[in-house]
Amino acid sequence: MTRPYRRRSSLGDSGSGLTLRQRRRPVVFMLILGMVYLYWAYTHRDRGPERARGKSGTERTARRRPRRWAPLPVTRTFSMMGTRVNVTVVPPRKTNLETLIDGVRSEMARIESVMNAHDPTSFVSRLNDLPASTPLRVRPEEAEILDVLDEARRVSELSGGAFDITVASVGRLWDFDPHRPRIPTEEEIASAIDGIDYRQVVVDRATSSVLLAGEGARIDLGGIAKGTAIDRAVDYLTSHGIRSALVDAGGDVYVLGKKTRGVPWKIALQDPRDTTGVLATLTPENIAVVTSGDYERAIAIDGKRYHHILDPRTGMPAEGLISVTVFAPKAQTADALATALFVLGPERGMELAERLEGVEAILITEDRRMHATSGLKETLRSASE
**Sites of contact with ligand ADP (CB under 6 A):** 163-165, 167, 171, 220, 222-223, 226, 292, 296-297, 308-310, 312, 335, 338-339, 343
Is 284 a binder of Mg ion (CB under 5 A)? no
Instruction: State the number of binding residues for Mg ion (CB under 5 A).
Output: 5
Q: Select from Mg ion, ligand ADP, none the partner in contact with residue 312, using the beta carbon and a kind-dependent cut-off of 5 to 8 Å.
A: ligand ADP
Task: Decide if 278 contacts 268 (C-beta within 8 A).
Answer: yes
Q: Select from ligand ADP, Mg ion, none the partner in contact with residue 151, using the beta carbon and a kind-dependent cut-off of 5 to 8 Å.
A: none
The least distance separating ligand ADP from the CB of residue 64, rounded to whole angstroms, comes to 44
Residues in contact with 360: Cβ distance below 8 Å, sequence separation at least 6, in sequence order? 326, 327, 353, 372, 373, 375, 376
Q: Which is nearer to ligand ADP, 338 or 363 (CB)?
A: 338
Of 223, 293, 315, 345, which one interacts with Mg ion (CB under 5 A)?
Answer: 223
Q: Select from Mg ion, ligand ADP, none the partner in contact with residue 188, using the beta carbon and a kind-dependent cut-off of 5 to 8 Å.
A: none
Q: In angstroms, rounded to a whole number, what is the distance separating the alpha carbons of residues 89 and 240?
A: 12
Angstrom distances, CA of residue 17 to CA of 14, 21, 220: 8, 12, 93
Tallying the residues shown for the chain, one arrives at 385
Q: Which is nearer to ligand ADP, 95 or 325 (CB)?
A: 325
Q: In angstroms, rounded to a whole number, what is the distance separating the alpha carbons of residues 254 and 284?
A: 9
Q: In angstroms, rounded to a whole number, what is the distance separating the alpha carbons of residues 151 and 287?
A: 17
Q: Which is nearer to ligand ADP, 332 or 373 (CB)?
A: 332
Is 200 a binder of Mg ion (CB under 5 A)? no
CB neighbourhood size of 36 (10 A) = 10
**How far is Cα of residue 116 from the mean position of the Cα atoms in its chain?**
18
Is 339 a binder of Mg ion (CB under 5 A)? yes
Q: Rule CB under 5 A: which residues touch Mg ion? A: 223, 292, 335, 338-339
